[in-house]
Amino acid sequence: MFDCIIVGAGPAGGTSAYHLAKRGHSVLVLEKESLPRYKPCGGGVSPIVQEWFDFDFTPAISVKANKIRYTWKMGDPVEVVMETPEPIWMVMRNVFDHFLVQQAQKQGAQLQEQTEVTGIEFKSDRWQVNTANESFSSRYLIAADGGKGPMARWLGFKKRKRSMGGALESETPAPSTNEPIIHLDFGMVKNGYIWNFPKAGSYSLGIGMFRGGGAQNLKGMVADYSQQFGVDLKAYKQYGHPLCLWDGYQPLHTQNAILAGEAACVVDPFTAEGIRPSIFSGLKAAEAINCAIGGEGDALEKYTQIMNEEWGSDMAWAKRLAQTFYRIPEVGYNVGVKRPSSTQVILKLMCGKLSYSEVANRALKRLGSHLIPGIGS
């Protein structure tokens, strides 16, 4: 009998486990894979997440990047040095996720690897979580099993408001002497972008659509793009996965259970940033469960409120910006991306130093001025 069972050992699950265990609660993390496990992901993380923990993430960081290079259909390049106190972290998810869970284990959390959940039942005042070999019980449950996991459906969240995107990624070797530069290309893919994120001795090459983009040859486009870096993607395995973008207010709690991470559709609909919001949701989930254990009857309801107000309300502006930018990407590239100040704004958004509500109106007016003469001039 545990205070809380967490299904999924990604950033949200690991964060929840760490903060609950640190508060002295009995925690069990169930993970269907064996850790460390490969997870396709660009792996860009804002250093702001360090403020939410009292241990050093350095061992989990592959490289740090402070330069970004944009292109439009592989041409018209712009390079920008990122003016941030700490460069953007680039991480390998197998290392990062496992490291986070290991910190939770040091606080007393238990981990069951290679343990796939087969079903859940609420019995009187507790959850029974069934696996192929045994069952576990807990007072509370956190579903952090990602965008493809079944937990949200089993918990009754059948009509979640989410906008589905998709990504195709591959990890390839790269010269270890390369300067760590983040590469982003716009214009090749409709309603998205192509990326090359640096890692220690490798590239994370990928392509993503963040709104409905229709039928597109994603494999062909990212293969063409990869040739700029001397990479033949045919020699490497490519992984596809869904992106659960935030798409408006929704309940994230039910009877003694809450959703966190991509199961809660926390991915930024403009940038597709997912790790920081997942960690944020895991932090808030742990705070909510801790309060519920302490006797606050509306603690889980407050979690829904906090996530919708502190995260979701700003994502409404991110969605509006995405809808406009990806509708007129060439205009967006010329009047937005190519402006050095735009990169600094995006970095401040990713670091929580600015909100979309503070910058979206101005950005929308600038984009609109190139569609309708006289608007935003």
Q: Is residue 213 part of a domain?
A: yes
Q: Is residue 343 part of a domain?
A: yes
Q: Are residues 259 and 146 in the same domain?
A: yes
32-70, pLDDT tens digit by residue? 999 999 888 889 999 999 999 999 999 999 999 999 999
CB 52 within 8 A of CB 167: no
Query: What are the tokens at 9?
Result: 């050992």
CATH of the domain at 106: 3.50.50.60
CB 347 within 8 A of CB 82: yes
Q: Are residues 169 and 155 in the same domain?
A: no
Instruction: Give 87's contacts (C-beta < 8 A, 6+ positions apart).
Output: 47, 64, 65, 66
Q: Is residue 151 part of a domain?
A: yes
Q: Are residues 228 and 334 in the same domain?
A: no
pLDDT at 354: 86
pLDDT at 164: 58
Q: Are residues 12 and 53 in the same domain?
A: yes
For the chain, state the CA radius of gyration: 21
Number of domains in the chain: 3
pLDDT at 163: 63
Q: Is residue 208 part of a domain?
A: yes
pLDDT at 14: 98
Q: Are residues 214 and 302 in the same domain?
A: no
Q: Is residue 85 part of a domain?
A: no
Q: Are residues 121 and 35 in the same domain?
A: yes
Q: Are residues 193 and 234 in the same domain?
A: yes
Q: Are residues 157 and 279 in the same domain?
A: yes
Q: Is residue 375 part of a domain?
A: no
Q: Are residues 40 and 134 in the same domain?
A: yes
pLDDT at 96: 97
The rounded distance, in Å, linking the Cα atoms of 35 and 94 is 7
Q: pTM of the entire structure?
A: 0.93
pLDDT at 373: 41
Q: Is residue 304 part of a domain?
A: yes
The CA-based dihedral angle spanning residues 321, 305, 263, 188, taken in that order and rounded to the nearest 10 degrees: 0
Q: Which residues of 313-348 are buried (b: 16+ CB within 10 A; e: fewer)?
A: ebbbbbbbbbebbbeebebbbebbbbeeebbbbbbb
Q: Are residues 150 and 262 in the same domain?
A: yes
> Which domain does 358 fall in, by range?
322-368
Q: Are residues 115 and 48 in the same domain?
A: yes
Q: Is residue 78 part of a domain?
A: no
Domain boundary among 243, 271, 288: 243
pLDDT at 179: 86
131-148, pLDDT tens digit by residue? 999 999 999 999 999 988
The rounded distance, in Å, linking the Cα atoms of 105 and 100 is 9
pLDDT at 150: 94
Domain boundary among 223, 243, 263: 243
Domain boundary among 243, 277, 299: 243
Q: Are residues 198 and 311 in the same domain?
A: no
The residues of the chain scoring below 50 in pLDDT are: 372-377
pLDDT at 169: 87
